[in-house]
Structure 1
């Protein structure tokens, strides 16, 4: 099965936050329509007929097959003060013991911001960004020297991921290569760069 999402333009006459997609079988024949809004609910309906156009299928659905497949949870009290985030979104950044020192939840500027220390957070953010620029410039200089000497230069490699081509669409993606959970279990973060 393959799922295609059809974008709804932000400034269109369509219902705001609308989601619409068609699920096709291996031969490309539309089987289901998925529709709703990303902030309320999503429904799925069986396709009863379609126009046979693979590029721009026009489908008819069987209304009796309507099945609610997702419903948004109510927002927590006071969420309007937290960008209308869900409980899950709000808790994503909660600190956790034993994570890699490169975990974004450990960013000192982020912690300062969450504690309401905006000026300190902005200063720390600029400091971290400057540190990253220095490292990038050093790598670029090392690469240039290696190229002038006719030597190979090994590009930066992520610690836990490898860059591969996605089989379904050819895009370059990062695929987990292993090692993180073992390092976490042993609390051995020696492979982690010092980024903060």
Structure 2
């Protein structure tokens, strides 16, 4: 952790980056039945259902979306490339890497309170991020990240829709991701895939991501279509991502393949087609045992090594960072996630009073105090309801602090736009939400 002077805008503070483990191990969920809570909620949207704190992980959803930034080196790589197709394939790898931390993360992040914020300044990785909970019903989280040397901006807003289907919880992360590479005057947009947590009632929880992700380069007309495959009948497709990049003339230029839990590769379309024909002709010599998605995931985890078949002539675009050895006891957090709630002396006086790190319920859960976490969560939720009733009585509307509703200039769709000023460190008019 470091604190250095910066010109013009007060202090720059490195928020996070040192912590190697949480203060306490994960709280056991063995004595709690999620079915007892969810049995009345089949087919319902879950954002209004109060869930016991034991099913949470000690991070706010605002901190969770900042995990998109774990593989920022890919954005810098894209900035350094002169060819637009080369840039697109690295941007595609970044889009996949942004959801990789969800593997095995079956705990629910805390719902952010209206007006809650999270800042992440990583001098070592050359960027800073600010996010704000801009709406409560429906829940909307807006974020904006920028390179400290003005090389890129990455921003978006997420409207997570959660539904319970009896054995699984499905999360639809509505909202657009926008990545701007400033030197190249390029803007890329995409939406994230669907996410589903299986075996909610019985058995080992496992996560599947599926759906089509379309990345558009609005400057060149290049497009990347990625298919996050559903697990299939016997689990052979579990975690697989396959797609292609086409130029503005719709000519297929590269094929991209891999697994969102492991790695992504790029290969020439002809080499890909040749490999597929050969594979079909010879048949799979190593016929996998026919087993369920769940046992497929267990197989991959026990192997602890890459399970993607590499096509000759492929280039590696991205490989996942191994998780720490004690990750399973720490809510399956990555090393990056471990640092997000870190609160060192000196941080508090610089941060906005609405920052997630100051939330007492999350802090108590991180410290292993489930009772205090539960009491504080209820207190904060009631405080939020009371504030809403007061506003309603006075016919006041909630005013967001750092973002405003506007139009995404690239998609022309509605989006939350960062209005600037957070890092000037003037927080006198921030709401008292804790």
Q: Which TM-score band applies after superposition, normalised by the shorter structure?
A: 0.7 to 0.9
Q: What displacement does 1:106 show?
A: 1.3
Equivalent pairs, count: 173
TM-score, normalised via structure 1 length:
0.76
Q: Of 132, 155, 163, which aligns to 2:405?
A: 163
Partner of 1:179 in structure 2? Answer: 421
TM-score, normalised via structure 2 length:
0.37
Given that 2:323 and 2:335 are in contact with CA atoms closer than 8 Å, whether structure 1 keeps it comes out as yes
Q: Of 375, 380, 390, which aligns to 1:128?
A: 380
Partner of 1:195 in structure 2? Answer: 433
Q: Of 74, 79, 92, which aligns to 2:340?
A: 92
**How far apart in 2 are the matches of 1:101 and 1:172?**
29
Structure 1 131/28 Cα, relative in aligned 2: closer, same or farther at 3 Å? farther
The correspondence of residues 1-196 of structure 1 with structure 2, limited to 5 A, is: 1-10=222-231, 12=233, 13-48=235-270, 60=273, 63-95=311-343, 97=347, 98-143=350-395, 155-183=397-425, 188-196=426-434
Tell me: higher relative CO, structure 1 or 2? Use CA pairs within 8 A at least 6 residues apart: 2
Q: What displacement does 1:24 show?
A: 2.6
Structure 1 40/139 Cα, relative in aligned 2: closer, same or farther at 3 Å? same
Structure 1 167/7 Cα, relative in aligned 2: closer, same or farther at 3 Å? farther
Q: What displacement does 1:193 show?
A: 0.8
**How far apart in 2 are the matches of 1:72 and 1:83?**
18
**How far apart in 1 are the matches of 2:274 and 2:387?**
56
**Is there any run of 5+ residues in structure 1 with no aligned partner, and where?**
50-58, 144-152
Q: What displacement does 1:173 show?
A: 2.4
Given that 1:8 and 1:14 are in contact with CA atoms closer than 8 Å, whether structure 2 keeps it comes out as no
Which has the larger strand fraction?
2
